[in-house]
Each structure stands twice: as structure tokens, then as C-alpha cells.
Amino acid sequence: MPLLPLVLTLSELYALHLRCFASNKICILQASIVVLSMEYFYTSINEFASFSLEHLFVILAYSLFAIGTFVFANKYLNEQGKYRLGFALALIPMLMVILRMYVIYRMGDFSYMKDLPLFICRLVSFILPIMLIKKSKSLFGILYFWVMAGTSNAVITPDIKFGLPHYESIFYWLIHIGLIVSILYCVFVFKWRPSRKDIWRAFWWANGYLILIHLINLFLGTNYSYTMFKPVNGSILDFFGPWPIYLLTGQFLALVLFALFYLPFLKNKKVK
């Protein structure tokens, strides 16, 4: 049987199954397996619940993967090998953002209201490979705080409706946890360190992004990065008042989180 396209819609999968029906038994078996697995990938209705066993398992699995990757890179790879692995990791979130848009487009569900790469995590997915190509520590200083403070919150309080193996859940985790693993790879393998100035640089650039994305939301009637209303499934923003109060009180939260994620490096400087 010829190689299947990267993504097939359900109607195309069933059409493939019918075309194979008149062929040999192996082809029928292969088509049946593909149809069943891809249908479950598209239509699984396993509702996601925060802090469920599934949620905790995903975090644990990725944590073990990250630790294993850092140990492997530091123990067995030379500098060139470390860079290649780091760049490969940085490509994963970006490729998943692109693939997610492609899948949704093929399914006929793509909407500019929610599927453009304008959420800050999706945007960072495109910036991360540039940071690695340029080996920019100044860009790392900004992305470190954005990812560790912002993306970590997206992992702790996910804004997803369905759990695994639904395609939205798969893409969500690969994008968000992929960002965290990539940034921590820079810390534990490349030994890059953010500076105290990076806290304020990250803060002001984040505010610039929020102002711009809010203007885009007003123009398009969208809610990217939740400047119009809070996530439906709940998030840490629920503790910071109604709209638009949480946009202001969230500034304090951002600075506190930035400072907390800088503490490990402040301790290291004092030890030296």
C-alpha cells in the first residue's frame, strides 16, 4: 500500500478503506488499523480534568524525559552534539504549532478566532529556534522568564477540553512542555543564565506584547492571551479579579513569578 499522507480526514480514511476492500487482505488490515487509530485521534471525547491522574502522569513523564535528556547530553555529547540536540528540541514546539494548524485546516475547523499562532506560547515556539540559531543569550533572558512563569502556568492549569489521545491534547502538551524542556536544556546543558536586568526586559516586552495583542483582539473580536476574558476552564487569573482588573493585578503576579524563577541564579552568584 502506498504511504499515507501526513494527515487524513475521516472521510478520506474511510474512502481509503473502501478502495482497499477489493484488494488483498493485508491492505484491508492496514487500512482498518489506520482508520480506527486515526478516528480515535480525532474523535476521542475523554474529558480532561486538571490534577487528574492523566494530568499528573503527563507532567511526570515529561519531567523524566527532560532529566534523562539533560543527563545524556551532559555525559555523552560534545559541544556540537549538544547544540544539535538542543536545536532539535527547540524545533518541536514550532513544528507542532504548524502541524496543529494543518490538521485543523484539513478537518475544516480552522478559525482565525482561536487557531492563529498569536497566543504567547505559540509565538514563542517560533522565536525559540531563532534564539538557538543566533545563540542569543539576551533573547534567552526574555524567553526564560516568559516560559518558566507563563508556560508553566499553562501546564499547571491547562486550557484544554479533551484529554489524551485527542489531537488537541497531544499538540497542547508537545507545544507547552516542549517549550519548558527547551529552555531548561539551555540552563542545564548550555549553562546559560538570565541576568537581573532580564527580569525587567522580559516584563516590559511582555507588556508590549499584551498591548499589541489586545489591539488585535479588539480589531478581530478574538481573545488571544486572554486580554478580553479569562480562560473558560479556569486558571490562576481567577484569583486576580474580574476583567479588566486581572490585566493589572496580573502585572504584579508576573513580577513575583519572574523574581522567584531568578532566585536559583541569585543563589549561585552568591556562592561564587
Distance, C-alpha 8 to centroid of its chain:
23
- Lowest-pLDDT range of 9-13, 101-105, 128-132, 229-233: 9-13
As a whole-number percent, the residues of the chain with pLDDT over 70 amount to: 81
pLDDT of 25-58, one tens digit each? 455 445 444 444 555 566 666 788 888 999 999 9
Instruction: Name the residue with cell 478574538.
Output: 222
Which positions ≥6 away from 21 have C-beta within 8 Å? 28
Average pLDDT, the chain: 85
pLDDT of 170-208, one tens digit each? 999 999 999 999 999 999 999 999 999 999 999 999 999
3-state secondary structure 193-215: CCCHHHHHHHHHHHHHHHHHHHH
pLDDT of 54-112, one tens digit each? 999 999 999 999 999 999 999 999 999 999 999 999 999 999 999 999 989 988 889 99
The whole-angstrom separation of Cα 107 and Cα 109 is: 6
Domain boundaries, the chain: 10-43, 53-271
Neighbours of 94 (CB within 10 A): 21
